[in-house]
Amino acid sequence: MSHNTIAINQQRQPLNHLKSVWLFGYGSLIYKADFAYLNRRPACIYGWQRRFWQGSHDHRGTPEAPGRVLTLVETATARCAGMAYEVTPDTFEYLDHREKNGYLRVFTTLHWLDTPGQTEGVLYLASADNAAYLGPESDTAIAAHIARSQGPSGENSEYLLKLAAALREMNEHDEHVFAIEQALLKL
């Protein structure tokens, strides 16, 4: 699959028939909501865990030297906390561009962290079959990759450090993110 998934997302999952859609953010969308939203709530999904296994050719790296950003990996016993945003369907024109580097929209169940209950929502997922996928490495190797990467949206280390801070603000622990953060800080 190509790096650019804008057309695929718009063809696969038109959303214009909906009044609003809940979007689940598990990476930079937690701390960088640079789009209009109707509501914002902490939420989690089950059966998925964050991994710095996706390449970023357009934000935190370049085509010649991609950075490393998050995707989700299916894991039966996992729980992934993040931030959910209620948005209008037209917001996805911007979001599809922001998340175009190998990410596809996927519907899933969101569970609220601030009150009991759940709803259906959308997240962006980059699977192993996309051209930007980098795959697993050791925490140290991922941290070294992040330390040397930068792109139009800034240094790749900023992405990692802001995410770790945002997770702490949410009182959430993510072993993978925090281990890579510690490895980065030792460099």
* Residues taking part in catalysis: 99
- Cβ contact 180:146 at 8 Å: yes
Under DSSP, is residue 24 helix (H, G, I), strand (E, B) or coil?
A: strand
Which position has the token pair 């709803």? Answer: 119
Q: Is 132 left (phi over 0), alpha (psi -120 to 50) or beta?
A: alpha
Outline where 16-155 has alpha helix (H).
28-31, 91-98, 139-148
Instruction: Write the CB contacts of 46 (distance below 8 Å, at least 6 apart in sequence).
Output: 78, 79, 80, 109, 111
Which position has the token pair 């509501």? Answer: 39
- Cβ contact 107:24 at 8 Å: no
Rounded distance between C-alpha atoms, residue 38 and residue 44, angstroms: 19
